[in-house]
């Protein structure tokens, strides 16, 4: 997946191993793009940083989810309407290496655990 062009007032990137996260915020809304991040802790840090920068609502787009357990859990959440960190999970497509998801928050959580 190519890095999307910044569309917000504030943009920051997190590079970790071969993966990346890009966070774009406009006012109090964050759009988070995740690609090839294997460690949930890295995603949590990016979400927390977006909240610290003033984001209240947001959407997270995953690239291809290659970790089988995460792909299965997000697929189950999408089908059963179970949230992830309070966000609604939608399965978007099957990518080359795994399924892709969208997670929408009316209120982005600050994650402390």
As a whole number, mean pLDDT of residues 10-19 equals 86
pLDDT grade for 103, boundaries at 50, 70 and 90: very high
Is residue 17 exposed (0-12), middle (13-18) or buried (19+ Cβ within 10 Å)?
exposed
Domains of the chain: 10-105 (3.40.630)
User: Does residue 2 carry a pLDDT above 60?
Assistant: no
As a whole number, mean pLDDT of residues 21-37 equals 91
Residue 63: CB partners within 8 Å, gap ≥ 6? 1, 33, 34, 35, 36, 95, 100
pLDDT, residue 31, reads: 94
Q: Is the pTM of this model over 0.95?
A: no
Lowest mean pLDDT, pick from 9-18, 67-76, 88-97, 99-108: 9-18
The angle subtended at Cα 48 by Cα 80 and Cα 79, nearest 5°, is 10
User: Does residue 10 carry a pLDDT above 80?
Assistant: no
């Amino acid at each position: 997946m190519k890095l999307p062009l910044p569309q917000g007032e504030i943009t920051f990137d997190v590079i970790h191993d071969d993966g990346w996260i890009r966070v774009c915020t406009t006012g109090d809304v964050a759009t988070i793009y995740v690609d090839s991040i294997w460690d949930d802790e890295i995603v949590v840090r990016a979400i927390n940083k977006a909240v610290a920068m003033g984001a209240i609502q947001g959407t997270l787009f995953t690239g291809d989810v290659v970790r089988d357990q995460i792909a299965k859990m997000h697929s189950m959440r999408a089908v059963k309407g179970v949230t992830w960190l309070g966000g609604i999970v939608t399965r978007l497509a099957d990518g080359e290496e795994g399924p892709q998801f969208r997670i929408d928050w009316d209120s982005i959580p600050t994650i402390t655990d």
